[in-house]
Amino acid sequence: MRARDLAVDFPTATLDTPALEAAKLLAEQDLPGLILVDPDGRPLSILPGTQVLRLAVPAYCQDDPALARVVDEAHADLFLRRLGGRTVRECLPEQPKELPVADMKATVLELAALMARTRSPLVAVVDGDRLVGAVTLQSLLDHVLEL
Amino acid sequence: MRARDLAVDFPTATLDTPALEAAKLLAEQDLPGLILVDPDGRPLSILPGTQVLRLAVPAYCQDDPALARVVDEAHADLFLRRLGGRTVRECLPEQPKELPVADMKATVLELAALMARTRSPLVAVVDGDRLVGAVTLQSLLDHVLEL
């Protein structure tokens, strides 16, 4: 069993995808993250679901829970307004880390090591430099546990 | 809307839970992670799903993808054998970070800030020091996007 056998189609986004659209995709399809591709379909990065939240939280609340507490809960809709007009580009973590990208011949063990090392529950699978699908932690566990 | 309104029951594990049982729980219930509690039900840590894989990958493969590649794929069952007899305690990341734990009065903004800062798609909700449930990224996004 290799990455090509475990990989499934997976939604992608680009750096210019609206943040709100990315958030909806994550929520509606219950995804652990999104694969970001360049205009030629090459994987650029993985956007973890939690990082979309960074845009929705005002900067003054990010590091000070006390400030987040005093913002009236009635203003939760601020959330959506803050995401409006912004793009995925602004959600990306500042320091790019090792990308969870594997080629089609990657073994189950290789995929597991990559997920563990990058802490990403999502690995992009490429043929050359073109994205062909993704393997999720879920599908990997299902496979190894023979569920 | 506060954490107490968004929190749902969530499976827990202890440091002594077998790693294989934790992996099955993650896979069967499609969870982003598990909440680890002490014998008194106080949250100790969050175990991200990817970290269960760390035990399944032999040490010599963890940092060297080339070695993981040469391990015969037919030995994927090594996976299960390696998990056998080991516990969640051994899966925990070495350096404990800020725990994604919020009290019942935490606002949506506070929960979002906590998830973004700790990069955890799962927040344990406590009443005093007792676990009462969890809020997932999924449920938070569903709420703010009004899905």
Least confident among A33-42, B19-28, B54-63, B107-116 = B54-63
Token output for A46: 């993985």
Specify whether the CB–CB gap between A100 and A123 falls below 8 A.
Answer: yes
Coil vs helix vs strand at B18: strand
Q: What is the mean pLDDT of residues B105-111?
A: 88
Residue B61 has pLDDT above 80, yes or no: no
Residues 6+ apart with CB under 8 A from B63: A117
Q: Which has the higher per-residue pLDDT, B120 or A80?
A: B120
CA closest to A118 among chain B residues: B50
Q: What percent of chain A has pLDDT over 70?
A: 88
What H or E segment, with its residue span, contains residue B131?
A: strand B130-136
Which positions in chain A touch B123 (Cβ < 8 Å)?
A: none
pLDDT over 70 at A126, yes or no: yes
Complex ipTM > 0.95: no
| Residue-averaged pLDDT of chain B | 84
Q: What global pTM score does this model have?
A: 0.84
Mean pLDDT over the full length of chain A: 84
**Cβ atoms within 10 A of the Cβ of B81, count?**
11
CB contact under 8 A, A116 and B62: yes
